[in-house]
Structures are given as structure tokens and as C-alpha cells.
Amino acid sequence: MTSPTTTPEAVLATAKKMLEDGLVEGTSGNISGRLEGDRVCLTPSSVAYDTMTLDDLVIVDLDGETLSGHRSPTTEKDLHLSTLRAYPELGSVIHTHAVYATMFALAHEPIPAVIEEVVVYVGGDVPCCEYRGTGSKELGDEVASKLADRGAALLANHGLVTCASSPEKALHNAALVERTAKIIWGARAMGATIHPLPEKVNRDMAGVYGFIRENP
């Protein structure tokens, strides 16, 4: 399989859109994009998105060794690299602190895929990872294990991770999961019962997700 690749320009544009969409604040969150030649573009540590430039981005290899860039890569680089190493069909990973998704992460509760498009774009329920320390290799391994057949996972007590073939599509997944979490939270606040999708619908649409993921 030929892995999908992107550009530093796309990583930067997506980082700025992530801030614009309210999925992060300040310097929180991070983005990676797979480049040609087994390289990965990462957002830097502790640089505000609104002032971030191409010169601030850091290029590393898949083992995390810096190839170019004068800044330190995000402290969550293992989270990105573990996933990109494990799944060559993926081209980007995004970590956000989306408010409603993070509420589920604090509760260690999966976000149910009760809306059809969530199954199509994410593959099913959004699972919650076991708690692992921020920035640790253990967290990277835990996240990668949850993204084997999903386009999103929750970081316990922390936030949301999404993945896709490109930064733009990974950001779409983040916005979709956040919107779904907000809808479910609102329905529960109304006292409503959350009804699951029919099992056949889940199976069929999960198959669509699998096909899209394997054919980026």
C-alpha cells in the first residue's frame, strides 16, 4: 500500500482552522501529517496557532528524530508517531481539547455512534483509552491500539484524537465527533432515551468506513 502524504502547508492551514473552529485554545492540541520519504510534519510545542508559521513546524522521522526545524516538536509526538507507524493507510493524526468530547473523556465513557455519518466517517462508537501519562510512549501505544478500526478515540481525562488520510479529513472527524457529543449531551439533558442504530445499519456503514480507510 502506498501511504497517503500531505504537505507542511496543509498541516499549518489545518492547525489554524482547528483553532478557528474552537476545538482548541491557546497552544493546546497538536497535528501531524505524513510527508513523502517516511517523514512526519508536527506542530511545535507551546506556539500559538494564530501566529504559527511554516518555519515553526518540525519535521521528524517515524522514530521521532528531528530532521529539520528550530523548535521542539509537540510533547505528544509519540501519540502521532505510534499511530502513523502502525497504520500506513493513515496520513494524519489530530489531538484536540474539544469541550463536549472531553466531557465524555472525563467520564471515561465512549461516545455512541447513534448518527449514521459517525459510523461512515469514524467506524462506530468512539472508544475511550485507558489513562496513560501525557506525552508518554505508553499513551502513544494505547491510542494506536484504539485506532485500529476507528477514526477517533478519547484520551481519558484529557481530550480527543482523530485520524484520517489527510489533515483536512482528520479535522472533519474531530468536528463531527464534537458535534455528536454535544447532541448526545443535549438529548440526555432533555431526559431523552438515546436509541442505537439498527445493527445492520452499523455493520453496513462500518464496512463503508473500512473501505474508505483502506483506499485513501
Looking up residue 153, the CATH number of its domain turns out to be: 3.40.225.10
Task: Determine, yes or no, domain membership for 3.
Answer: no
- For residues 163 and 32, give the distance between their C-alpha atoms in angstroms, rounded to a whole number: 10
pLDDT tens-place string over residues 102-154: 999 999 999 999 999 999 999 999 999 999 999 999 999 999 999 999 999 99
**4-16 pLDDT, tens per residue?**
999 999 999 999 9
How many domains are there within the chain? 1
Domain that holds residue 91: 8-214
> What are the backbone angles phi and psi of residue 33, rounded to the nearest 5°?
-140, 130
In a domain, 166, yes or no: yes
Average pLDDT of the segment spanning 83-107: 98
| Residue at 103 is within a domain | yes
Annotated catalytic residue 76: yes
**pTM of this prediction?**
0.96
User: Which residues, other chains included, contact 213 with Cβ-Cβ below 8 Å and sequence gap of 6+?
Assistant: 89, 90, 123, 151, 165
Does 127 map to a domain? yes
Residue 216, pLDDT score: 86
| Distance from C-alpha of 207 to C-alpha of 214, rounded to nearest angstrom | 11
Does some domain include residue 19?
yes
How, if at all, do strands 58-61 and 39-42 pair?
A: antiparallel
154 bridge partner residues:
128, 160
* Catalytic hit among 65, 76, 130, 199: 76
Residue 173 within any structural domain of the chain: yes
**pLDDT for 34-75, tens place per residue?**
999 999 999 999 999 999 999 999 999 999 999 999 999 999
Mean pLDDT of the chain: 97
Identify whether 187 is part of a domain: yes
100 belongs to a structural domain:
yes
Give the sign of the dihedral formed by CA 44, CA 47, CA 52, CA 56. negative
The burial class, CB within 10 Å (0-12 / 13-18 / 19+), for 133 is: exposed
% the chain with pLDDT above 90: 98
